[in-house]
Structure formats: structure tokens, C-alpha cells
């Protein structure tokens, strides 16, 4: 299913995280003047930002660099691990070169220096909105391609299992399926039998450990 187009009057959900109350209030007031933007959560530190991002699934997070407990860049790295298509605007009291480079390395799209104006914030929001739209479209296309590939591999696996193939091609197909964390157990078991026939003992040992771990979940 395609992700919604954020340009199609879809409200952009924003999370604000800053340890200074005045900054949180001013940022929210400025965002209220931007069309199709909705503030869904406000955090006072990095840990809260991660928690609220998981709960509210914003499209964009505005994170202050320096916050107690966990800084904004660390928080965004954690958020991006679980939600890689969430955009980010980093807010800082000064435009430090090292911090800017760290933000770029973390995948941050925009960087605002306090005090910033409503126009500067709106420009940053528009840029990150475009990024989110593109990132989600790309993720949707990649997911569709992955699904088609998995379906094709499963069809080959069913055919190879039926004819008891143990050649290189069959082994390759089952190994590709085994990469998937939710690979069907029957394909893993078939791969194990192929390893026995082919005397691939080291691979069999690794696969057996994987099956053992799955059985104990």
C-alpha cells in the first residue's frame, strides 16, 4: 500500500523536544501559523522524544541539540532506527561546525539556530516535508519489490522441495529465504537437509543455532 502524499492536504504531524519551556511554547506558536501542520507531542528531553515518537508516530521531529539525559542527535538516531522515514530538524543555540557535521552524519535534514523566525521554520518544514514524502514513497516501492522477490523465492522453494533438489541453485534459493527473520520453519528445515546432503557442516551448525533460538522464543 502506498504511503499517503503529504502534499495532498495531509496534515504534517510534528513532535517538539526542547528542555526550555519558552522555546517549546514559541516553536508551537510558530508552527500553528503554518498550513497543514499539527503538533502531536511536546517533550522536554531526548528520552521523552523517543517515547512520544513511538506513541504518536510524527512525520517530523524538532529536536534541541542540548537536552538533559539525552541530546537531540542521540535521540534522533534512536528514533530513526525504528522509524527511518521520520524527518528531523535540529535546533541549536549556535551554529557549531562539529555539531552541524554530526547532524549531517546522523541523517538530519535541516538545522536551525536560535532564535529563528517563523519564516525560517516554515522553510525548514517545507524542505523536510518534501523529504518525508520522497522517503516514504521510496520505502513503499522497496517494500513492494521485496514482497515480490519473497513470493518468487517461495515459489521456487516449493518446486525445489517437491523435486528434492540439493544443487547449488536450490541451496542458494533456500539461503536467500533464510535471511528473512520470519522465514517459514519448513524452508529452514529443508535447507538443513540440503546442508546434510552437501556436507556443509559449518553452515548446518549456524542454521541449527538459528532454529534453536527460534524454538525458544
Q: Which residue has the cell 518468487?
A: 152
Residue 16 has what pLDDT? Answer: 97
Let me know whether 132 and 64 are in one domain.
yes
Beta bridge partner(s), residue 88: 61
Structurally, how many domains does the chain consist of?
2
Let me know whether 106 and 17 are in one domain.
yes
For the stretch 94-108, pLDDT in tens is 878 888 888 888 889
Let me know whether 78 and 46 are in one domain.
yes
* Domain that includes residue 95, residue range: 12-140
Let me know whether 22 and 86 are in one domain.
yes
For the stretch 64-122, pLDDT in tens is 998 988 999 999 999 999 999 999 999 998 878 888 888 888 889 999 998 899 999 99
Let me know whether 27 and 129 are in one domain.
yes
Residue 9 has what pLDDT? Answer: 54
Range 163-174 average pLDDT? 95
Let me know whether 174 and 123 are in one domain.
no
CATH number at residue 21: 3.40.50.2300
Note whether residue 197 is domain-resident: yes
Element (H, E) at 37: strand 37-43
Note whether residue 151 is domain-resident: no
Residue 126 has what pLDDT? Answer: 93
Give yes or no for residue 8 having a pLDDT over 60.
no
Let me know whether 126 and 176 are in one domain.
no
Residue 56 has what pLDDT? Answer: 95
If you ran DSSP here, which 8-state letter would residue 11 be given? P
For the stretch 127-159, pLDDT in tens is 999 999 988 888 888 889 989 999 999 999 999
Let me know whether 108 and 209 are in one domain.
no
Beta bridge partner(s), residue 41: 15
| Mean pLDDT for all residues in the chain | 90
Let me know whether 22 and 89 are in one domain.
yes
Amino acid at each position: 500500500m502506498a504511503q499517503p502524499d503529504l502534499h495532498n492536504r495531509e496534515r504534517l504531524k510534528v513532535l517538539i523536544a526542547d528542555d526550555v519551556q519558552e522555546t517549546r511554547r514559541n516553536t508551537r506558536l510558530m508552527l500553528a501559523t503554518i498550513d497543514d501542520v499539527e503538533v502531536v507531542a511536546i517533550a522536554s528531553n531526548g528520552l521523552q522524544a523517543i517515547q512520544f515518537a513511538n506513541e504518536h508516530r510524527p512525520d517530523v521531529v524538532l529536536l534541541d541539540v542540548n537536552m538533559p539525559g539525552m541530546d537531540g542527535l542521540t535521540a534522533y538516531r534512536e528514533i530513526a532506527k525504528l522509524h527511518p522515514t521520520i524527518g528531523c530538524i535540529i535546533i541549536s543555540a549556535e551554529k557549531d561546525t562539529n555539531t552541524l557535521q554530526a547532524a549531517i552524519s546522523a541523517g538530519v535534514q535541516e538545522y536551525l539556530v536560535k532564535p529563528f523566525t517563523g519564516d525560517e521554520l516554515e522553510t525548514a518544514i517545507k524542505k523536510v516535508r518534501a523529504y518525508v514524502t520522497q522517503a516514504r514513497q521510496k520505502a513503499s516501492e522497496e517494500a513492494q519489490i521485496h514482497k515480490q522477490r519473497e513470493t518468487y523465492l517461495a515459489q521456487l522453494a516449493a518446486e525445489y522441495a517437491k523435486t528434492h533438489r540439493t544443487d547449488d541453485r536450490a541451496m542458494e534459493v533456500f539461503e536467500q529465504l533464510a535471511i528473512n527473520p520470519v522465514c517459514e520453519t519448513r524452508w529452514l528445515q529443508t535447507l538443513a537437509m540440503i546442508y546434510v546432503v552437501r556436507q556443509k557442516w559449518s553452515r548446518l551448525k549456524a542454521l541449527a543455532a538459528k532454529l534453536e533460538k527460534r524454538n525458544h522464543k
